[in-house]
Chain A
Amino acid sequence: EAQVTQNPRYLITVTGKKLTVTCSQNMNHEYMSWYRQDPGLGLRQIYYSMNVEVTDKGDVPEGYKVSRKEKRNFPLILESPSPNQTSLYFCASSLPGVGTDTQYFGPGTRLTVL
């Protein structure tokens, strides 16, 4: 089954404790992105990647790191989480084309930083 997976789905942590949220897709998609979703603010892009070893900042990259060592994986790293990073996080992937550019989202990771 074609899908984007994220782990963990739920995480409660404390300020300053490094964490990684994993994202994996099995569709051989070139593009992958991370978003955060907050009430009233919609979805905001954190980082995106257009290929292996090619990453770029989205609209809200501060406090986050990413890496793209393999095509299928795109982990999100919070080196020193703070309470303002409490949010719902979505990973997504897509394969660019001439027609519809369908972006598939993962199930989301709800992060709480105390």
Chain B
Amino acid sequence: GENVEQHPSTLSVQEGDSAVIKCTYSDSASNYFPWYKQELGKRPQLIIDIRSNVGEKKDQRIAVTLNKTAKHFSLHITETQPEDSAVYFCAASISGTASKLTFGTGTRLQVTL
């Protein structure tokens, strides 16, 4: 089955700096890659996703890039703010939808003042 590795497990940045979280996947048939944000004590929420026919997608301060050849995708957060502090999860799916997802183990992002 699919295996998703996520790095780093923790990341601390200063407010205003950029943060990058990287994931690799094992199944070349994977074609849908969402990112979720989970604040402390809350449920995960989708923040951005990308499909395999697209190399990059951007939404305000967040962007995701996908390299199908290398089988890795990354989340980029620019101009980080304290409210960006959370755990971020990447995931991959071979179904093209959120029906069957394999998640990474998460990255705890801390944005310091």
Residues of A in contact with B (beta carbons under 8 Å apart): 31, 33, 35, 40-45, 48, 50, 56, 58-59, 90, 92, 94, 96, 100-103, 105-108
Q: Is B99 an interface residue (CB 8 A)?
A: yes
SS class, residues of chain B in contact with chain A: loop
Q: CB-nearest residue of chain A relative to B4?
A: A42
Contact A90–B43 (Cβ < 8 Å): yes
- Distance of A56 Cα from B97 Cα, bound (Å): 15
B47 to chain A, nearest CB (A): 10
Residues of B in contact with A (beta carbons under 8 Å apart): 1, 6, 32, 34, 43-46, 49, 89, 91, 96-106
Q: CB-nearest residue of chain A relative to B57?
A: A100
Contact A94–B99 (Cβ < 8 Å): yes
Contact A103–B103 (Cβ < 8 Å): no
A33 to chain B, nearest CB (A): 7
* Known contacts A42-B106, A43-B91, then 13 further A-B pairs from the complex at CB < 8 Å, ordered by chain A residue: A42-B103, A45-B100, A56-B100, A59-B102, A94-B97, A94-B99, A96-B97, A100-B46, A100-B49, A101-B34, A103-B34, A103-B46, A103-B101
